[in-house]
Structure 1
Amino acid sequence: MVQFWTPLRELTPSLRPGEWLMADKSRRIGFIQHDPQTRSYRCLTPESSPGDRIRLGSAPTLPEAAQRLWEWGRRSPLGWRPSHDLVEVCSGIWVMPPRPGHDYPQGFIEEQTRGDEKRFEASSGGTAHHPRELIGHYPTFDTAARAVWEFPIKG
């Protein structure tokens, strides 16, 4: 029987329920925590103290979170980018979760294709008092994510 490697094989359950440690040849890459409220999995930096960990992003499933954390760990020791915070809610649409102290998503990114051209539309999250605003159109996912991250939060 042929067995295939996946980043899930590098996860070890932590002593805390709903938490896994990812390591590569005894080098810590980071932690994944299940968030039952949002039904998503958060990717965190590898610090031992939970209070010192930095959130790198999230994913709707454990395999996707493992893949994202593995890629981050292989790229750089602390290579966080705003795109790591985005969660794909359906094909081609991502949401950036609210920042602490806010109730509404920070923003959205939608992938648009016209012919051979691919671009990403970034918009603000919007609130009950402030409607969503178009931030702009960007050639790459990372530039759109950076625009949403840097857009001022209203409300």
Structure 2
Amino acid sequence: MIKMVRIDERLIHGQVAMIWSKQLGVDRIIVVNEKAATDPILSSTLKMAAPDSIKVIILDEEKAKVLLRDPRMNDLSILVIVNSPKDALFVVENASEIKKVNLGNYGKASKDGDERIKLNDNVFLGEKDKEYLREIIKLGVTTEYQLVPDQPITDMKTVL
């Protein structure tokens, strides 16, 4: 079962690997990212960042569509990580029973031409980003900002 989808432009790093994976009790981290799936160095680096007890799977969208719909996923405890609201919407639309999307670090490093507005020190959103997040919310998925589990939660409905 997918415990949470996290939007974090850094993908797997200390907060995700050590704090979120422990908090959620996951045994798998699935990264859905085209670049990471095709870059062996990036893929290897992401896998090294995760604890040894957690299996990391890095997929492009095509392979993710198949795996996210596989009923055997229900027997696992999974954290899905993407690096943009657009990719989070893709996951929500292609997986069953996503209950929560968590927005972590996003927008500081992006160079897609969409002018971004600072939400806080860790999140900068452009109009396209907001639209993707609104679509996720319309699908009935709880969408919130929370950098780490011991910090307060901000419901993205109130922000958008």
TM-score w.r.t. the length of structure 2 is 0.29
- Determine which structure has the larger strand proportion and give its number: 1
- Determine which structure has the larger helix proportion and give its number: 2
Bigger CA radius of gyration: 1
Q: Whose relative contact order is higher, 1 or 2, with alpha carbons under 8 Å and at least 6 apart?
A: 2
